[in-house]
Amino acid sequence: MLDTVDVGPRPLRQYEPIVGQEVLEEIRGLAAPLRGARIAQINATTYGGGVSELLRSIVPLYRGLGIHCDWKLISAGPKFFTVTKAFHNALQGAPYELKQATRERYLMSSTYNARQLEEEYDFIIVHDPQPAAIRYFRGRAGARWIWRCHIDTSEPNEEVLDFLLPFLAEYDALVFTMDRFVPPRLNHQRLATIIPAIDPISPKNMALPSGICDEIRAWRGIDPDRPLVTQVSRFDPWKDPMGVIEVYRLVRKEIPGLQLALLSTIAHDDPEVWDMYKVLVDEVRGDDDIHLVTNLIGVGDVEVNAFQRCSSVVLQKSIREGFGLVVSETLWKGTPVVANRRGGIPLQMEDGVGGFLVENTEECAERTLHLLTHRDEARALGLSGKESVRRHFLITRLFADELRLVASLAARST
């Protein structure tokens, strides 16, 4: 049997002070026809990325409305996750040669996990490439199946895409973050787009007193009296942490004493993270003002929250990006962002609303320096970004979108 993540219900009313009663009544109306339904959400890990962030909020909301929803984890070893990380990279456009042994490893693990899905459900939502083949090997089993892709697949490696297409064809609906992320050759009867969102009352996004933020920052060796630039992302080449370090070094020439924090959660489904981590350790050695801050030293959601609040500027220098929840997380705290104009980032932040969108390292450094030296403008930009997130990128909107999709599939089955 697949492992079940232990989460409890969350009352929808907790969001009323933030989004208002009208939004909550709409959600209750959407959920009413689904009461009594059984839903499963399946992914690869409970931490270390946006998918786990979303599920940790979405599953309790279902339960709080009287809808049975389980969060299930696939079971696999490091060799399988090496394969799926390569698939992840290839689907974002990286070159990759798909060998027979790789195919067999993916199929073997997918077959095993399909057999471990023993419970009966009315709807099963599968996230990203790792568990994508479960539907094929499990069969319909009386359920409606949704595959949710959280990465930028606009220019995929054709060989990997061809391998996965037969598995995706079995789903009743495929969901992407943006229309342009739908691979050009993908032909499916039901395509949908759902934009991710943040949970404003989760530990990562709830209000924190400034004193607590200062204490957490100082606890990690950050001087509260000097400016701090931060990036919160996996240690992954697609997030360009080396480019962030280059930006820091360019800006520090103008602002001596500038500090940099690179925050990351090291997840078990990302075997490549250790290689990147070692590269970064070597790169920053000798500079006491660059801090690599990870869950390996006990950093969790509250610490990320504090760093996003107390940073002068937060960067998101992604080369490819499915969405980048950290952008909306940061804007929710009123902190300005400088981000590459990539993937889903421009969806959540217009240039000049919440911060600046840039195209390269030099422009990133220029905009970061501007915000560090124009603090009133930086504060105004941060506040405009928070209002944009409140209107468009909160979990209540995402939950409503998902309920509409599930309800539409339920209607088709009757």
- How many Å apart are CA 145 and CA 266, to the nearest integer? 30
pLDDT at residue number 171: 98
pLDDT at residue number 414: 52
Report the domain count for the chain. Answer: 2
Tokens standing for 289? 């003002």
Q: Is residue 309 part of a domain?
A: yes
Q: Is residue 379 part of a domain?
A: yes
Tokens standing for 178? 């943006």
Q: Is residue 75 part of a domain?
A: yes
- How many Å apart are CA 346 and CA 178, to the nearest integer? 11
358 contacts 338 by C-beta, under 8 angstroms: yes
Number of H helices, E strands in the chain: 16, 13
Concatenate the DSSP letters of all residues of 36-69 into one string.
Answer: T-EEEEEES-SSSSHHHHHHHHHHHHHHHTT-EE
Q: Is residue 203 part of a domain?
A: no
Query: For residue 115, what is the domain's CATH number?
Result: 3.40.50.2000
- How many Å apart are CA 72 and CA 113, to the nearest integer? 11
Q: Are residues 174 and 230 in the same domain?
A: no
Q: Are residues 311 and 341 in the same domain?
A: yes
Q: Are residues 274 and 350 in the same domain?
A: yes
Q: Are residues 133 and 256 in the same domain?
A: no
Q: Are residues 249 and 184 in the same domain?
A: no
Q: How far is CA 252 from the centre of its chain?
A: 30
Q: Which of 72, 82, 73 is nearest to 269 (CA)?
A: 82
226 contacts 259 by C-beta, under 8 angstroms: yes
Q: Are residues 172 and 215 in the same domain?
A: no
Q: Are residues 97 and 29 in the same domain?
A: yes
Q: Is residue 109 part of a domain?
A: yes
Contacts of residues 75-80 at CB distance under 8 Å and 24 or more positions apart, as own/partner, are 75/2, 75/3, 75/112, 75/113, 75/116, 76/44, 76/109, 76/113, 76/130, 78/271, 79/105, 80/105, 80/106, 80/109, 80/130
Taking only the tens place, the pLDDT of each residue in 292-311 is 998 888 788 999 999 999 99
Q: Which residues contact 364 (CB under 8 A, 6 or more apart)?
A: 243, 247, 315, 317, 338, 340, 358
318 contacts 343 by C-beta, under 8 angstroms: yes
pLDDT at residue number 413: 60
Q: Are residues 123 and 219 in the same domain?
A: no
Q: Over its length of 414 residues, how does the chain's per-residue pLDDT go in tens digits?
A: 999 999 999 999 999 999 999 999 999 999 999 999 999 999 999 887 789 999 999 999 999 999 999 999 999 999 999 999 999 999 999 999 999 999 999 999 999 999 999 999 999 999 999 999 999 999 999 999 999 999 999 999 999 999 999 999 999 999 999 999 999 889 899 999 999 999 999 999 999 999 999 999 999 899 999 999 999 998 999 999 999 999 999 999 999 999 999 999 876 677 788 889 999 999 999 999 999 998 888 788 999 999 999 999 999 999 999 899 999 999 999 999 999 999 999 999 999 999 999 999 999 999 999 999 999 999 999 999 999 999 999 999 999 999 999 999 987 765
Q: Is residue 141 part of a domain?
A: yes
Q: Is residue 156 part of a domain?
A: yes
Give the range of the structural domain holding residue 282, as residue numbers without chain letter: 210-392
Q: What sign has the CA pseudo-torsion 333, 336, 338, 339? A: positive
Q: Is residue 202 part of a domain?
A: no
Q: Are residues 37 and 62 in the same domain?
A: yes
Q: Which of 363, 367, 346 is nearest to 229 (CA)?
A: 367
Tokens standing for 78? 């490091």
Q: Are residues 386 and 409 in the same domain?
A: no
Q: Are residues 346 and 403 in the same domain?
A: no
Q: How far is CA 248 from the centre of its chain?
A: 24
Q: Are residues 269 and 376 in the same domain?
A: yes
pTM metric for this prediction: 0.92
- DSSP label at residue 233: S
